[in-house]
A and B are shown apart, each in its own frame.
Chain A
Amino acid sequence: MRPHLLALLAKEPAHGYELKQALEQTFGSAYPSPNIGQIYVTLGRLEKDGLIRAVDVEQSNRPNKKVYYLTAKGRDVLEAWVDEPTEGPRVRDEFFMKLVLAPLTGIADRMALISRQRRHYLSLMGDLNDLMSRTAPTDRVAMLLIEGAMLHLQADLDWLERCQEDLA
């Protein structure tokens, strides 16, 4: 969550609760609703690393609140995050290791592993279908995230079929 908070603070200084609201607004229903405690812990670490700084703002009838803003060092870190290429999905995943190694141990045969995994993927796809039907089409950010997850799953399934053809 560190770079996400830096990005929001690059737009304008804010206090913890405002950041929570901004995350919810930006990502719509796609983002796991961030826990306020988590946000404060992250802000504390960013401050300790010198990426943000806080000023106390007085409030009438209430304790002072801390408003955070981005430092020059914070902006550098944010720029580096945006500029660096993002890792692609992992291909040599846990399932692949099971698939290759399990038959050596005599614990499971590949056909059974592939079949079980296929049904598991379809069950995940069912969750995404439900999610999509509950998401407003106008919530573009959430829709794109769901569609991305669906396309990844479809690719995983196609790849399972390749494994079946070549290994089983």
Chain B
Amino acid sequence: MSTVVKTVNLVKIYQDGAVPVPAVRGVDLHVEPGEFVAIMGPSGSGKSTLVHMLGGLDTRTSGEIWLDGKRVDTLSESAWALLRRNRIGFVFQFFNLVANMTVGDNVELPALLAGASPKVARERRESLLAALNLTDRAGAAPAQLSGGEQQRVALARALANEPSLLLADEPTGNLDSRNTRDVLRLLSEVHKEGQTIVMVTHDARVASLADRLVSLFDGEIVDDGRIARRRTRTAGEVIDLR
């Protein structure tokens, strides 16, 4: 299998204001199949801009983006749409669900669009909703849900088409500790099953599930390294560390 994500000297300069804003300044990032990469960095360091470009939701100013060994930064918008439907799951910092569809249909649709049979799409929907403790809310409209519930629906929807790449931007921003636990459990499950994940987060619990941490600062990668996994320890040993 080839590298899932590769960027080469990726640059984004926003030119819509009076002065150009360099948001991403020459990022080289490689993500291998099955890797879980967390992206952290101060507000304004370019995290959202980077993952939006990886999902084709924002155009690059210069540089290259490769997904599954194929160059994609040159694709048309419709080709990107097709790619997202089949290969990429995206959870936004500010969730966007289809307002006039039930929660259940929001989750089921991406699987159907990606070509799953109705039976498979339905099974996927049921298991994701159950994993995120949302089964009771399946018939509700997104507007009737709390922020945390909408965020969990957004995650379920992003995973529905079993994407080769899950991109997520602060997927636990609105969650309390109980709901974060459900999201953590689902993320580590899909990661164990081989899901490749690139995730922006400020939440240390979520980030600690990752294999690797990429730190952004002023639009550049200032650190890229593995998060050490040690042998499992007993309670006393772990707590005594602090």
Taking Cβ atoms with an 8 Å cutoff, the residues of A that contact B are 29-33, 111-112, 115-116, 118-131, 133-135, 142, 145-147, 149-150, 152-154, 157-158, 161, 164-165, 168
- A164: which B residues are within 8 A, CB to CB? 42, 217
- Check B235–A115 contact: CB distance below 8 A: no
29 contacts between A and B (CB under 8 A): A29-B234, A32-B236, A33-B234, A112-B223, A115-B222, A118-B215, A119-B228, A122-B207, A122-B210, A123-B228, A125-B205, A125-B208, A126-B208, A126-B229, A127-B238, A128-B208, A129-B205, A129-B208, A131-B233, A131-B235, A131-B238, A131-B239, A134-B232, A150-B204, A153-B204, A154-B203, A158-B202, A165-B42, A168-B217
- A135: which B residues are within 8 A, CB to CB? 235
- Check A152–B223 contact: CB distance below 8 A: no
- Binary contact track B77-103/A, C-beta < 8 Å → 1, others 0: 000000000000000000000000000
Question: Which residue of chain B lies nearest to A128 when distances are taken between CB atoms in the complex?
Answer: B238
- Check B238–A129 contact: CB distance below 8 A: no
Residue in B38, B177, B242 whose beta carbon sits within 8 Å of that of A124 in the complex: B242
B192 → A minimal CB distance (Å)? 13
Q: How many residues in B have their beta carbons less than 8 Å from beta carbons of A?
A: 37
- A147: which B residues are within 8 A, CB to CB? 177
A127-B241 CB under 8 A given contacts A118-B223, A122-B204, A153-B204: yes
- Check B213–A130 contact: CB distance below 8 A: no
- B203: which A residues are within 8 A, CB to CB? 154
B206 → A minimal CB distance (Å)? 9
- Check A149–B239 contact: CB distance below 8 A: yes
A57 to B232, CA, bound (A): 42
A142 to B236, CA, bound (A): 10
- Check B222–A32 contact: CB distance below 8 A: no
A38 to B233, CA, bound (A): 21
A112 to B222, CA, bound (A): 8
Interface residues of B in 38-62 (CB under 8 A from A): 38, 40-42
A66 → B minimal CB distance (Å)? 26
- Check B208–A149 contact: CB distance below 8 A: no
- Check B227–A119 contact: CB distance below 8 A: yes
Residue in A33, A124, A146, A168 whose beta carbon sits within 8 Å of that of B241 in the complex: A124
- B238: which A residues are within 8 A, CB to CB? 124, 127-128, 131, 149
In order of increasing CB-CB distance, the 8 nearest A-B pairs are A32-B236, A115-B223, A125-B208, A126-B208, A123-B228, A122-B208, A29-B235, A127-B238
A140 → B minimal CB distance (Å)? 14
B225 lies within 8 A of chain A by Cβ = yes
Residue in A33, A120, A130 whose beta carbon sits within 8 Å of that of B236 in the complex: A33
- Check B230–A123 contact: CB distance below 8 A: yes
- Check A127–B227 contact: CB distance below 8 A: no
B136 lies within 8 A of chain A by Cβ = no
Question: Which residue of chain B lies nearest to A112 when distances are taken between CB atoms in the complex?
Answer: B223
- A158: which B residues are within 8 A, CB to CB? 202
A131 to B226, CA, bound (A): 20
- Check B208–A123 contact: CB distance below 8 A: yes
A114 → B minimal CB distance (Å)? 8
A32-B230 CB under 8 A given contacts A115-B215, A129-B184: no
- Binary contact track B193-228/A, C-beta < 8 Å → 1, others 0: 000000000111101111001010100001101111
- Check A121–B230 contact: CB distance below 8 A: no
- Check A127–B223 contact: CB distance below 8 A: no
A22 to B161, CA, bound (A): 52
Question: Which residue of chain A lies nearest to B184 when distances are taken between CB atoms in the complex?
Answer: A129
- Check A152–B242 contact: CB distance below 8 A: yes
A119 to B213, CA, bound (A): 7
- Check B204–A31 contact: CB distance below 8 A: no
- B217: which A residues are within 8 A, CB to CB? 111, 164, 168
- Check B205–A127 contact: CB distance below 8 A: no
- Check B40–A118 contact: CB distance below 8 A: yes
